Amino acid sequence: MFSLSLRDGVRLAALEVRHAEEFGAHMDRAREHMRPWVGAGFVAEDVRGTLARYAERQAADGPRLFGLWSEDVLVGGVMFTGFDAAAGTCELGCWTEPAAEGRGLVTPACGVLLDYAFRTRGLHRAEWICRADNQRSAAVAARLGMTLEGVRREAWLYDGVRHDEQLWAILAPEWRGR
Mean pLDDT across the chain: 93
Amino acid at 122: G
Of 25-34, 50-59, 65-74, 169-178, the least confident: 25-34
Does the pLDDT of residue 1 top 70, yes or no? Answer: no
Residue 175, SS3 per DSSP: helix
Mean pLDDT of the 117-136 span: 97
Report yes or no: 156 and 119 within 8 Å, Cβ to Cβ: no
Helix (H, G, I), strand (E, B) or coil at 22: helix
Task: Write down the pTM of the prediction.
Answer: 0.93
Give the span between the Cα atoms of 170 and 162, in whole angstroms: 26
The enclosing domain of 101 has a CATH number of 3.40.630.30
In sequence order, which residues have a C-beta less than 8 Å from that of residue 153 and are 6 or more positions away?
164
Q: Which domain, by its residues, includes 32?
A: 3-176
Q: How many domains does the chain have?
A: 1
